[in-house]
A = this chain, B = another copy of it.
Amino acid sequence: MSDFFANFTARNPEWLTEAGPFSDVALSTRARLVRNLPDFPFPHHASDVELETILADMSRRLSRLPAFSDGWDVGFADLEAVQRRALQEKLLASFRLVSRPTSRGLLLSRDLSRAAMINEEDHLRLHAFRPGFDPQGTLASIMALDEELEQEVESAFSPEWGYLTASPTNLGTGLRLSALLHLPGLVLVGEIEKVLNALRQLQFSVRGLFGEGSAVRGALFQISNLITLGRDEAEITDDFQVHLGKIITYERSARDQLYGRDHLGIEDMVHRSWAVLANARVITAQEAFDCLSNIRLGVSLGLLPAVEPGRLNQLTVQQQTAHLELEVGRALSGRDKGASRAALLREFFAA
């Protein structure tokens, strides 16, 4: 694992480096499957011994899958806290996993496009990531992983309820699709609440960058289906494709409307944001998220020099504290943190 963290900042999943479909609005699409073992209690009811047994058994078996055989078994409980937080900042590990690491596991494919969390809310949570907005491609990726899994692991399944899960909200397919969308246009024209409420009524969940309960930063929204039961994977994916496709269209038209209504105000905002990142000597994560968001908007409107979306994605992730600390090799106090962040951003934007 020392290999893995030695070069962690530059070790990026494809969605952080490549453009995908609708990259002007969508950073990534994620698919998640929930699976549990029939012979053990769910993690929140399992004893320490049972959790350790599950972890050892699952780690061994998952390592044999083609997806993970040349990848990384992250040995989650043995990591330093900063390493766990950095994995969360890259969206490779959940908050739940990071905050309770004992007897938890994380396996990653070599290219970081697939992940398996052991003893999170369920015995097993599989993730697949794709750049941009790509529900079909992401579904194909997670289903291929699920097929590999079926060769090694028999999951708890009921003919009536489908896959059994620790929380009833995940019963059935256990499939959750999420898209990480950048919606500054809807925020700035004041339509965001209306759009998000409509999504909630359609049984989608809307959360911040780091999932449940996390604050929205830099106009980045995680949008996921809530319904996993009573429809098959293809129906869930079609539904997701249709409704989130509409949000992307709304966002694009909000940006045009915004620029038509107040081009000077938008130009002012995006140029100031670039100037701040090119010149600040100290900056908070919140301000950096916001400036990067404004710059992403400015690039998409053609008001700023072209920057690949991948570069903005990476800076959005790398400016976070655990990434900064791994990069400098030590814990950072408040002021040092802001200074390291500013230096990272200046290096790119002042160039």
Contact = CB atoms under 8 A, between A and B. Distances in A.
Interface centre among A276, A280, A281 (most CB of B within 10 A): A281
Interface string A266-279: 01100110111011
Interface in A257-312: 264-265, 267-268, 271-272, 274-276, 278-283
Contact of A280 (B268, B278, B281): B268
Contact of A281 (B271, B276, B282): B271
A335 B268 CA distance: 12
Contacts of A283: 268
Contacts of A267: 281
A339 interface: yes
Contacts of A282: 264-265, 268
A33 interface: no
A278 B275 contact: yes
Interface size class of A (residues with CB under 8 A): 10 to 19
Interface of A: 264-265, 267-268, 271-272, 274-276, 278-283, 335, 339, 342
A-B pairs, top 6 by smallest CB distance, nearest first, are A275-B275, A268-B281, A275-B279, A271-B279, A267-B281, A268-B282
Given A265-B282, A268-B282, A272-B276, 13 more contacts: A264-B281, A264-B282, A268-B280, A268-B281, A268-B283, A271-B279, A271-B281, A272-B280, A274-B279, A275-B275, A275-B276, A275-B278, A275-B279
19 contacts: A264-B281, A264-B282, A264-B335, A264-B339, A265-B281, A265-B282, A267-B281, A268-B280, A268-B281, A268-B282, A268-B283, A268-B342, A271-B279, A271-B280, A272-B275, A272-B279, A272-B280, A275-B275, A275-B276
